[in-house]
Every structure is written in structure tokens, then in C-alpha cells.
Amino acid sequence: MKVELQIPELQIHLGETSDSLDQALQKAEADNLVERTWARDHTLWNPNPTEITNRLGWLDIAERMRAEVAGLQEFVRQVRAEGFSHALLLGMGGSSLAPEVFGHFFSSGQELQLGVLDSTDPDAVRACAKPFNPKETLYIVSTKSGGTVETLSFFKYFYNQAQNVLGNQNTGKHFIAITDPGSSLEEIAKKRSFRHIFLADPNIGGRYAALSHFGLLPGALIGVDLSTLLDRAAAMAQRCSAATPLEENPGALLGLVLGALALQGRNKLTFIAPDSLATFGDWAEQLVAESTGKQGKGILPVVGEPPGKIQDYGQDRVFIYLSTQGNKELGKRGQELIAAGMPLIEIPWEDEYDLGGQFFLWEFAIAVTGHVLGINPFDQPNVEAAKVQARCFVEEYTTIGRLPKGKGQPVSAQALKTFLKQADPGDYVSLQVYAAPSKEADQMLSTLRSNILKTYNLATTLSYGPRFLHSAGQLHKGDAGKGLFVQFVTLPPKEDVLIPKQAGSAESEIGFGALKVAQALGDAQALRQAGRRVLSFEIDGDLVPALQGLLADLEKGS
């Protein structure tokens, strides 16, 4: 096998790790890997079919959704004709990430202006409510299970907001649901006379659902040409089929490379992308982290990391370069990494509609990677741990009116440096921010990531809570325990944004701020119970001044 392997969809540069692909290809041939994947043979991943045989609907969803396109387009025409100009999606994880990508990729010429709320921070909820006038807004309540606590809390809050403006008789017409058949949300939607209930394929897990109703309905609302998108997805599915020779099959090759490199310790999958494609990494993060991070194994997606010098990167890296024409600066950086012997996979994009093909490519690849790693890529056995702990804290709050005292401390540069001194080569740092997202905070956190990379040569990730609990949270507790977790938690404001106990009722037992802190406490406890290293900073006030002080102290070397 040559050091470089090139097909139209991938350019693979493996450097000194090329032998690993040879071995992976031979084993895949012997295992009839591609044929058995398309045959939905659960024994590729586990002798037990549980959470496998009912999770493979994504294999042909692009073809099946073609029949839905006309209906989705007609639905958009109807709501536009009735004066709707905005759509607000309320969801978490697999329900919100693909719509966010669509909103970024197709930001101009949208049919409806799309917003996505996936933060329980009260400032984020307030900020999301301001630009969405209930008279002109279609609210999309999106959850597969129908019981996601964040999504239902959003629903109850915005239902009441809309009811105050629209009146009881008209409120339901401004809501639609996307959920699985038989879910509790389906019952709620019927009871509240939602405009429409879109029932998705229950045989697809949330992180594999981008090409189902969960992704395509929001896409249709902003004017995405669904037929073109599905054409690209179907074309990629054909390229990943058993009719394609293994050494030319893009999904199989990508999955085999990622799995083989991870087994060698190169498990920090670092995305390099132009701004136009940057949000794709956020979607891929959930797919990779939640699918591979279990049984003491895992591939850490590193998204949005500021570029470092070659010497800053350890021997645990593999780079994904999403390339577009004319991106000379990123192309030069990719060449430097290749010249330094770093494994790099270049994936060329023609235009934004390649998104359809990329969704399928990565889904197929990560299914293959699961086989290479010897894990089931379709379950998420550790996700519930943080939820259980958070529920306990919420119950305590509703009983006694306050949250328990956690192990948080004021933000301190010295405490951070002492904590990071524990790191060993191959570890990573996860910055977990339980606060309202903002551009200013993003910039400061990016500077902090650069500082950590330069000082400790460690990969860093940045996640806003609680949204990451539905994506990378599985990997954090299920991998080999290489993470150092730094929480930044803003405490509830004096005037919290209250969550109605029931839609249509003013009664409340808890606010969004208290729920967010309960989730942070719950995740910290679940991480510690899993033997992870956790540092929790509590911030009584705004996040930005606290970060400013931290960066200033780090700069001074205090």
C-alpha cells in the first residue's frame, strides 16, 4: 500500500502509519464487511441484536425520503401563505445539530428564518425569545423519545409565551412536532392540537437521523432543495455499496482508516475546515463521539481548535481536512502536516449540497469504525448516568428549594494550572461551559485552548452545556479515561426564567438556571463516579469577565 491513497471522495495521507490500512483492508475483505453492513447483519458489531437491528434505517433513508419531498414542500408553502416568517426549533443533540448545519450552510434566501434553541441557560432562552414574534413563528418541538427534559421545558415555556399573545384557541396552530411513533410528545401534540405531527422512522438513532424528518423538515422550511440534497446522499450511498471495490469504497476506507489509527493511539480526530463548512464538525462530533466512546475505547472529535505549530501536536492526532476550491491558506497548512508525517485525510467539497453525501459518508464510515474497534456504534450505555444524577438534584431542588453544594470553586489560574499538571501524553482537555453562548466568550475560550495546546501539547474540546451531554457526554464517560474536564458554570440569576410545570399553566417548580446547574452538578458527579478528573469553576455573574480575569492571570504567569 502506498503512503497516499486517492479516490474522488478522499485523499488519504498516512505517513508512517500506512501499514495499518493494509491490515485493516485484508481483515475487512475476510469479514465481508461491506456486504454484511448492507445486509444489516448485527453480528458485525455484537452477537446480541439489541440496539442494532432497530438502528439501521439510515442505510436507505435517502431513497425512502424522496417520497416525502413533495409533502414537505407543500407544508412549507402552506405556512408561508399563512404569514409565518420565522421558525424556532426546540431540541437537543441529534434533533438540533443537523438543523443548525442547514441553517449555517443555507443562510441566504431562507424561506423562513430558522433559529435553534439547545441551551437551558436562562440568558440563552431570553435571547432566543426576543427575535421570534409568536404571531409569525412556527415552533418545532423535536425529540425522538418525546421525553427529553430540555426539549419539553422549552416547549412549555414557549407554549405559554405564544398563548399569552395568540390566545388559547390559536396557539396549537403555531406548533409542530417531529418525533417517533408512540412517543409522549405525539400524545402532547394531539392534546394541544398541534398544526402537524411528523412521525420519523423509529429504526434510526438520533445521531444518524440527519437525512430523516429531523433534518429534512427544518431544511425544507429554510428553502433547501431536498431533491438535490437527497440525490447527493443517494449517490454517496451507491459509492459505499458492495458494488464498489473495497479499495475504492469511500465509506469503508474512511471507517477503516479511523479505526486502525485509533487502535494505534491516534484517536484525536482533528477537523480543519473553512468557515463555510465549520459547523459540519459540530454534527460530526456527536456522530463520532457517541458512536465510538464506550467499553474503554473512543475517538475524540476535536472541532474548532485554533491552529498550533507542528511541534504542539502529539502522536495521538489524525487530521480531517474539509477542502473547498480557493482555500490556499488551509491547503498550505494541510501540506505542512503531511510533510511532518501526520496522518491527514482530505475530503473535497464541491458546494453546500455535498452535505447530503457527507452525512451518509460519515454515518457509513463510523459504522465501519465500530466494527474495527469491536464495539456497537449504535448504543449509548453511559449517557443516562448524568441524567440520573441531574434528576436527583432537580428533585432535591423542588423539595427544599435549593441545589446541593457541589465541589465548585471561584475561577483561578493557579487552580487550572495545578489541575492540568496531572496530564499525561495522549490525554485531552474538555472545556465545558454552562453559560449562554456568545461570540465574545467563544473568542476568549479559543485563546484558552491555544494556551493549553502550546503549554501542554494537549488536544482540547469546547462544549456548551447541557447540549454536549447529548453528544460527547457518552465518550467522556465511556472512553479510556484520558480526559481532564474543566467546568465553567454560571450560577442561576436572582430572577430566573421559570419553566412552567405544565403547558398553559403559570405554576413552576424550577427555572432554567437551576436546571442548568443541576445538569452541571449531575455530569460532574457522573464523571467522578467513572473515575474521571474534574475541575469545576462556579461563576456568580457573567462568564466573560471571569474569562478575562483568567486569561490575564495566565498571561502574567500567576
Give the pairing of strands 317-323 and 344-348. parallel
Answer yes or no: is pLDDT of 256 > 50.
Answer: yes
Q: Which residue has the higher pLDDT, 403 or 19?
A: 403
Helix, strand, coil % over all residues of the chain, rounded to 5: 50, 15, 35
End-to-end alpha carbon distance in the chain: 51
* pLDDT average, residue stretch 200-218: 98
Alpha-carbon torsion (87, 120, 299, 58), positive or negative: negative
- pLDDT score recorded for residue 2: 41
pLDDT band at 434 (very low <50, low <70, confident <90, very high): very high
Answer yes or no: is pLDDT of 435 > 60.
Answer: yes
Answer yes or no: is pLDDT of 473 > 80.
Answer: yes
pLDDT tens-place string over residues 364-374: 999 999 999 99
pLDDT tens-place string over residues 378-403: 999 998 888 899 999 999 998 988 88
- pLDDT score recorded for residue 1: 34
Gap between the Cα atoms of 313 and 92, Å rounded = 32
SS3 assignment, position 130 = coil
User: Percent of the chain at pLDDT above 90?
Assistant: 91
* pLDDT average, residue stretch 315-340: 90
**In 302-382, which ranges are continuous DSSP H helix?**
328-339, 354-373
Mean pLDDT score of the chain:
95
Given a contact cutoff of 8 angstroms between Cβ atoms, the answer to whether 422 and 484 are in contact is yes
pLDDT band at 448 (very low <50, low <70, confident <90, very high): very high
User: Percent of the chain at pLDDT above 70?
Assistant: 99
- pLDDT score recorded for residue 17: 67
- pLDDT score recorded for residue 384: 86
Gap between the Cα atoms of 503 and 456, Å rounded = 49
- pLDDT score recorded for residue 40: 98
Taking the whole predicted model, whether its pTM rises above 0.95 is answered as yes
Domains of the chain, residue spans:
4-42+244-373, 82-224, 383-556
* pLDDT average, residue stretch 206-230: 97
SS3 assignment, position 411 = coil
Gap between the Cα atoms of 89 and 94, Å rounded = 12
How far is residue 6 from each of residues 14, 273, 349, 368, 377, measured CA to CA in Å? 11, 19, 15, 19, 27
pLDDT band at 323 (very low <50, low <70, confident <90, very high): very high
DSSP string, 239-306: HTSTTS-GGG-HHHHHHHHHHHHHHTT--EEEEE--GGGTTHHHHHHHHHHHHH-BTTB--EEE-SPP
Q: What is the CA radius of gyration of the chain?
A: 23
> 3: exposed, middle or buried (C-beta count within 10 Å: 0-12, 13-18, 19+)?
middle
pLDDT band at 68 (very low <50, low <70, confident <90, very high): very high
**Look-up: residue for cell 452525512?**
359
Answer yes or no: is pLDDT of 558 > 70.
Answer: no
pLDDT tens-place string over residues 49-62: 999 999 999 999 99
C-alpha cell at 36: 454484511
Given a contact cutoff of 8 angstroms between Cβ atoms, the answer to whether 40 and 56 are in contact is yes
Give CATH for domain 82-224.
Answer: 3.40.50.10490
- pLDDT score recorded for residue 282: 97
* pLDDT average, residue stretch 252-265: 96
* pLDDT average, residue stretch 457-471: 95
- pLDDT score recorded for residue 19: 74
pLDDT band at 478 (very low <50, low <70, confident <90, very high): very high
Gap between the Cα atoms of 201 and 207, Å rounded = 13
Domain 383-556 has CATH 3.40.50.2300: no
Given a contact cutoff of 8 angstroms between Cβ atoms, the answer to whether 436 and 403 are in contact is no
Superfamily of domain 4-42+244-373: Glucose-6-phosphate isomerase like protein; domain 1 (3.40.50.10490)
Do the domains 82-224 and 383-556 sit in the same CATH topology, yes or no? yes
- pLDDT score recorded for residue 444: 98
What values do phi and psi take at 184, rounded to 5? Answer: -65, -30
